[in-house]
Amino acid sequence: MTARLPVRKTYKLFIGGSFVRSESGRYDRIEGEPAASAPSAVNVPRGSRKDVRDAVAAARSASAGWAGRTAYNRGQILYRFAEALESRRADIGAPADEVGEAIDVLVHYAGWTDKFQPVLGGINPVAAPYLSFSVPEPTGVVGLVAPDSPPLLGLVAELAPAMAAGNTVVAVLSSERPLPGLDLGEVLGIADVPGGVVNLLSGRRAELAPALAGHHALDAIVDASGDPGLGTEIDKLAAESVTRVRHAPPATSYAAATADPLSRLEAVTELKTAWHPVGA
Protein backbone atom coordinates (compact mmCIF):
# COMPACT_ATOMS: atom_id res chain seq x y z
CA MET A 1 0.00 0.00 0.00
CA THR A 2 1.41 3.37 -0.98
CA ALA A 3 1.78 5.81 1.90
CA ARG A 4 -0.33 8.90 1.39
CA LEU A 5 1.23 12.32 1.16
CA PRO A 6 -0.07 14.94 3.60
CA VAL A 7 -1.93 17.94 2.22
CA ARG A 8 0.43 20.85 2.67
CA LYS A 9 -1.01 24.02 4.11
CA THR A 10 -1.28 27.04 1.82
CA TYR A 11 -0.88 30.29 3.74
CA LYS A 12 -2.78 33.34 2.50
CA LEU A 13 -3.32 36.95 3.45
CA PHE A 14 -6.45 37.82 5.44
CA ILE A 15 -8.23 40.81 3.86
CA GLY A 16 -11.88 41.80 4.19
CA GLY A 17 -12.74 38.58 6.03
CA SER A 18 -11.41 36.40 3.18
CA PHE A 19 -8.21 34.48 2.62
CA VAL A 20 -6.56 35.80 -0.51
CA ARG A 21 -3.33 35.28 -2.38
CA SER A 22 -0.98 38.20 -2.73
CA GLU A 23 -1.90 40.37 -5.72
CA SER A 24 1.72 40.13 -6.88
CA GLY A 25 1.78 36.33 -6.77
CA ARG A 26 5.07 36.50 -4.85
CA TYR A 27 6.02 34.25 -1.97
CA ASP A 28 8.89 34.10 0.52
CA ARG A 29 10.32 30.82 1.73
CA ILE A 30 10.70 30.76 5.50
CA GLU A 31 11.34 28.17 8.17
CA GLY A 32 8.17 26.52 9.41
CA GLU A 33 7.32 25.10 12.79
CA PRO A 34 9.03 21.71 13.32
CA ALA A 35 6.64 18.76 13.05
CA ALA A 36 7.04 15.11 12.26
CA SER A 37 4.92 15.25 9.09
CA ALA A 38 5.42 18.89 8.09
CA PRO A 39 8.08 20.41 5.85
CA SER A 40 10.87 22.40 7.50
CA ALA A 41 10.10 25.42 5.32
CA VAL A 42 6.87 26.92 3.99
CA ASN A 43 5.82 29.46 1.39
CA VAL A 44 4.42 32.67 2.87
CA PRO A 45 2.63 35.23 0.67
CA ARG A 46 4.68 38.35 0.11
CA GLY A 47 2.20 41.21 0.25
CA SER A 48 2.50 44.18 -2.08
CA ARG A 49 1.53 47.85 -2.05
CA LYS A 50 -1.67 46.86 -3.86
CA ASP A 51 -2.48 44.45 -1.02
CA VAL A 52 -1.98 47.30 1.44
CA ARG A 53 -4.44 49.46 -0.52
CA ASP A 54 -6.96 46.62 -0.67
CA ALA A 55 -6.65 46.03 3.08
CA VAL A 56 -7.13 49.72 3.91
CA ALA A 57 -10.18 49.85 1.61
CA ALA A 58 -11.66 46.81 3.38
CA ALA A 59 -10.99 48.36 6.79
CA ARG A 60 -12.54 51.65 5.70
CA SER A 61 -15.68 49.88 4.47
CA ALA A 62 -16.05 48.04 7.78
CA SER A 63 -15.25 51.06 9.96
CA ALA A 64 -18.70 52.60 10.34
CA GLY A 65 -20.39 49.30 11.13
CA TRP A 66 -17.84 48.30 13.75
CA ALA A 67 -17.77 51.74 15.39
CA GLY A 68 -21.57 51.77 15.42
CA ARG A 69 -21.87 48.60 17.47
CA THR A 70 -22.55 48.96 21.17
CA ALA A 71 -19.59 48.74 23.51
CA TYR A 72 -21.18 45.68 25.09
CA ASN A 73 -21.43 43.92 21.72
CA ARG A 74 -17.80 44.69 20.86
CA GLY A 75 -16.84 43.21 24.21
CA GLN A 76 -18.81 40.05 23.43
CA ILE A 77 -17.05 39.69 20.07
CA LEU A 78 -13.60 40.20 21.59
CA TYR A 79 -14.42 37.57 24.20
CA ARG A 80 -15.57 35.23 21.42
CA PHE A 81 -12.25 35.95 19.68
CA ALA A 82 -10.48 34.78 22.85
CA GLU A 83 -12.69 31.67 23.00
CA ALA A 84 -11.89 30.81 19.39
CA LEU A 85 -8.16 31.28 19.96
CA GLU A 86 -8.40 29.04 23.04
CA SER A 87 -10.07 26.32 20.97
CA ARG A 88 -7.39 26.53 18.26
CA ARG A 89 -4.35 27.13 20.46
CA ALA A 90 -2.74 23.82 19.45
CA ASP A 91 -2.82 24.94 15.80
CA ILE A 92 -1.03 28.26 16.35
CA GLY A 93 2.63 28.31 15.39
CA ALA A 94 3.79 29.93 18.62
CA PRO A 95 4.86 28.68 22.08
CA ALA A 96 1.97 27.57 24.28
CA ASP A 97 2.68 30.16 26.96
CA GLU A 98 2.70 32.98 24.39
CA VAL A 99 -0.65 31.82 22.99
CA GLY A 100 -2.07 31.66 26.52
CA GLU A 101 -0.97 35.22 27.27
CA ALA A 102 -2.44 36.44 23.97
CA ILE A 103 -5.78 34.87 24.93
CA ASP A 104 -5.67 36.61 28.32
CA VAL A 105 -4.91 39.96 26.65
CA LEU A 106 -8.03 39.61 24.48
CA VAL A 107 -10.15 38.87 27.55
CA HIS A 108 -8.62 41.85 29.35
CA TYR A 109 -9.51 44.33 26.61
CA ALA A 110 -12.94 42.75 26.12
CA GLY A 111 -13.63 44.07 29.59
CA TRP A 112 -12.51 47.60 28.67
CA THR A 113 -14.99 48.14 25.83
CA ASP A 114 -17.64 49.70 28.08
CA LYS A 115 -15.33 51.24 30.68
CA PHE A 116 -12.87 53.56 28.97
CA GLN A 117 -15.54 56.06 27.87
CA PRO A 118 -16.22 57.49 31.36
CA VAL A 119 -12.50 57.41 32.17
CA LEU A 120 -11.32 59.29 29.07
CA GLY A 121 -14.45 61.45 28.67
CA GLY A 122 -16.35 63.62 31.09
CA ILE A 123 -18.06 66.93 31.78
CA ASN A 124 -15.89 70.02 31.34
CA PRO A 125 -16.24 73.03 33.68
CA VAL A 126 -16.89 76.26 31.79
CA ALA A 127 -17.48 79.85 32.98
CA ALA A 128 -20.63 80.34 30.93
CA PRO A 129 -24.24 79.10 30.82
CA TYR A 130 -23.29 76.03 28.83
CA LEU A 131 -22.89 72.33 29.46
CA SER A 132 -19.69 71.05 27.86
CA PHE A 133 -18.89 67.35 27.72
CA SER A 134 -16.33 65.20 25.89
CA VAL A 135 -16.92 61.69 24.56
CA PRO A 136 -14.21 59.37 23.15
CA GLU A 137 -14.85 58.03 19.67
CA PRO A 138 -12.87 55.60 17.47
CA THR A 139 -10.10 57.15 15.40
CA GLY A 140 -11.13 55.02 12.39
CA VAL A 141 -8.69 52.87 10.43
CA VAL A 142 -5.58 52.00 12.43
CA GLY A 143 -2.38 50.61 10.94
CA LEU A 144 -0.30 48.26 13.05
CA VAL A 145 3.32 47.23 12.53
CA ALA A 146 3.88 44.08 14.59
CA PRO A 147 7.21 43.14 16.15
CA ASP A 148 9.32 40.16 15.12
CA SER A 149 9.37 38.90 18.70
CA PRO A 150 7.07 37.86 20.20
CA PRO A 151 5.16 37.60 16.92
CA LEU A 152 1.73 36.68 18.31
CA LEU A 153 1.62 38.42 21.69
CA GLY A 154 3.25 41.54 20.27
CA LEU A 155 0.53 41.67 17.60
CA VAL A 156 -2.42 40.99 19.92
CA ALA A 157 -1.17 43.52 22.51
CA GLU A 158 -1.83 46.34 20.01
CA LEU A 159 -4.67 44.72 18.06
CA ALA A 160 -6.96 44.17 21.07
CA PRO A 161 -7.12 47.79 22.32
CA ALA A 162 -7.63 49.12 18.79
CA MET A 163 -10.58 46.76 18.31
CA ALA A 164 -11.95 47.47 21.80
CA ALA A 165 -12.03 51.19 21.03
CA GLY A 166 -14.09 50.56 17.89
CA ASN A 167 -11.37 50.85 15.24
CA THR A 168 -10.69 48.65 12.25
CA VAL A 169 -7.11 47.43 11.77
CA VAL A 170 -4.61 46.72 9.01
CA ALA A 171 -1.65 44.85 10.47
CA VAL A 172 1.76 44.18 8.96
CA LEU A 173 2.92 40.93 10.53
CA SER A 174 6.36 39.91 11.73
CA SER A 175 8.79 39.61 8.84
CA GLU A 176 10.82 36.87 10.49
CA ARG A 177 7.96 34.82 11.98
CA PRO A 178 4.67 35.60 10.21
CA LEU A 179 3.08 32.18 10.69
CA PRO A 180 1.50 32.87 14.12
CA GLY A 181 -0.13 36.00 12.70
CA LEU A 182 -1.40 34.16 9.62
CA ASP A 183 -2.72 31.40 11.89
CA LEU A 184 -4.57 34.11 13.82
CA GLY A 185 -6.42 34.93 10.59
CA GLU A 186 -7.93 31.44 10.64
CA VAL A 187 -9.10 32.09 14.20
CA LEU A 188 -10.67 35.39 13.13
CA GLY A 189 -12.58 33.49 10.47
CA ILE A 190 -14.54 31.62 13.16
CA ALA A 191 -14.61 34.30 15.85
CA ASP A 192 -17.65 36.38 14.78
CA VAL A 193 -15.40 39.35 13.96
CA PRO A 194 -17.02 41.10 10.97
CA GLY A 195 -15.08 41.00 7.71
CA GLY A 196 -12.74 43.93 7.25
CA VAL A 197 -12.41 44.74 10.95
CA VAL A 198 -9.00 43.01 11.06
CA ASN A 199 -6.77 42.61 8.00
CA LEU A 200 -3.45 40.74 8.17
CA LEU A 201 -0.58 41.20 5.73
CA SER A 202 2.57 39.13 5.59
CA GLY A 203 5.62 40.09 3.59
CA ARG A 204 8.63 42.33 3.93
CA ARG A 205 8.16 45.02 6.55
CA ALA A 206 10.48 47.46 4.78
CA GLU A 207 8.12 47.36 1.79
CA LEU A 208 4.71 47.19 3.49
CA ALA A 209 5.06 49.49 6.52
CA PRO A 210 5.94 52.65 4.54
CA ALA A 211 3.12 51.97 2.08
CA LEU A 212 0.72 51.66 5.02
CA ALA A 213 2.03 54.72 6.91
CA GLY A 214 1.75 56.89 3.81
CA HIS A 215 -1.79 55.85 2.88
CA HIS A 216 -4.11 58.86 2.86
CA ALA A 217 -7.07 56.87 4.24
CA LEU A 218 -5.23 55.76 7.39
CA ASP A 219 -6.23 57.59 10.58
CA ALA A 220 -3.58 56.31 13.00
CA ILE A 221 -0.67 53.92 13.07
CA VAL A 222 0.88 51.98 15.94
CA ASP A 223 4.51 51.01 15.42
CA ALA A 224 5.60 48.15 17.66
CA SER A 225 8.43 47.01 15.39
CA GLY A 226 11.17 48.28 17.69
CA ASP A 227 13.06 49.52 14.62
CA PRO A 228 14.17 53.17 15.13
CA GLY A 229 14.97 53.69 11.45
CA LEU A 230 11.56 52.46 10.38
CA GLY A 231 9.96 54.55 13.11
CA THR A 232 11.54 57.71 11.71
CA GLU A 233 10.30 56.87 8.21
CA ILE A 234 6.80 56.22 9.53
CA ASP A 235 6.80 59.60 11.28
CA LYS A 236 7.73 61.42 8.07
CA LEU A 237 5.13 59.63 5.94
CA ALA A 238 2.37 59.97 8.53
CA ALA A 239 3.04 63.69 8.91
CA GLU A 240 2.12 64.29 5.27
CA SER A 241 -1.47 63.22 5.91
CA VAL A 242 -1.60 64.22 9.60
CA THR A 243 -1.90 60.60 10.72
CA ARG A 244 -1.55 59.94 14.44
CA VAL A 245 1.48 57.82 15.36
CA ARG A 246 2.23 55.81 18.47
CA HIS A 247 5.56 54.06 18.93
CA ALA A 248 5.46 51.24 21.45
CA PRO A 249 8.07 48.70 22.56
CA PRO A 250 7.06 45.10 21.78
CA ALA A 251 4.98 43.61 24.58
CA THR A 252 6.86 40.56 25.81
CA SER A 253 4.41 39.46 28.51
CA TYR A 254 0.79 39.72 29.59
CA ALA A 255 1.84 42.18 32.28
CA ALA A 256 3.52 44.44 29.72
CA ALA A 257 0.51 44.27 27.38
CA THR A 258 -1.93 45.29 30.12
CA ALA A 259 0.22 47.52 32.34
CA ASP A 260 -1.11 50.80 30.90
CA PRO A 261 -4.25 49.98 28.90
CA LEU A 262 -5.50 53.57 28.83
CA SER A 263 -2.43 54.77 26.92
CA ARG A 264 -3.11 52.16 24.24
CA LEU A 265 -6.82 52.99 24.12
CA GLU A 266 -6.28 56.76 24.16
CA ALA A 267 -3.81 56.53 21.26
CA VAL A 268 -6.56 55.20 18.99
CA THR A 269 -9.49 57.38 20.09
CA GLU A 270 -10.55 60.96 19.43
CA LEU A 271 -12.39 63.18 21.91
CA LYS A 272 -15.56 64.80 20.58
CA THR A 273 -16.62 67.81 22.65
CA ALA A 274 -20.19 69.08 22.57
CA TRP A 275 -21.68 72.29 24.01
CA HIS A 276 -25.27 72.70 25.10
CA PRO A 277 -26.91 75.85 26.52
CA VAL A 278 -28.36 75.59 30.02
CA GLY A 279 -30.33 78.00 32.22
CA ALA A 280 -32.15 81.12 31.09
95-100 contacts, C-beta under 8 A, 24 or more apart? 98/150, 98/152, 98/153, 98/180, 99/152
Q: Model confidence over 5-22: pLDDT tens digits?
A: 888 889 999 999 999 999
How far apart are alpha carbons 135 and 126 in whole angstroms? 16
Stretch 137-154: mean pLDDT: 97
- For residues 38-44, average pLDDT: 75
Say which amino acid occupies 83.
Answer: E
Residue 122 pLDDT grade (very low, low, confident, very high; cuts 50, 70, 90)? confident
CATH for 61-277, options being 3.90.550.10, 3.30.1330.40, 3.30.1440.10, 3.40.605.10: 3.40.605.10
The per-residue pLDDT for 149 is 95
Question: In the predicted model, is pLDDT for residue 33 greater than 90?
Answer: no
Is residue 31 pLDDT above 80, yes or no?
no
- Give a three-class secondary structure readout of the chain: CCCCCCCCCCCCEEECCEEECCCCCCEEEEECCCCCCCCCEEEEECCCHHHHHHHHHHHHHHHHHHHCCCHHHHHHHHHHHHHHHHHCHHHCCCCHHHHHHHHHHHHHHHCCCCCHHHHHCEEECCCCCEEEEEEEEECCEEEEECCCCCCCHHHHHHHHHHHHCCCEEEEECCCCCCHHHHHHHHHHCCCCCCCCCEEEECCCHHHHHHHHHCCCCCCEEEECCCCHHHHHHHHHHHHHCCCEEEECCCCCCHHHHHCCHHHHHHCCEEEEEEEEECCC
Of 8-12, 75-79, 221-225, where does mean pLDDT reach its minimum?
8-12
Residues 165-221: pLDDT tens digits? Answer: 999 999 999 999 999 999 999 999 999 999 999 999 999 999 999 999 999 999 999
**Dihedral pair phi/psi, residue 103, rounded to 5°:** -60, -45
Is residue 40 very low, low, confident or very high in pLDDT (cuts 50, 70, 90)?
low
The per-residue pLDDT for 36 is 38
Report the distance separating Cα 270 and Cα 121, nearest Å.
Answer: 10
- Please report, rounded to a whole number, the percentage of residues in the chain having pLDDT higher than 90: 82
Mean pLDDT, rounded, for 120-125 = 86
- Which residues 6+ apart lie within 8 Å of 75 measured at CB? 110, 111, 112, 113, 114, 164
Q: What is the pLDDT averaged over residues 113-139?
A: 89
Report whether 248 contacts 224 (CB < 8 A): yes
For 277, residues 6+ apart whose C-beta sits below 8 A from its C-beta are 129, 130, 131
Taking the alpha carbons at both ends of the chain, their separation in whole angstroms is 93
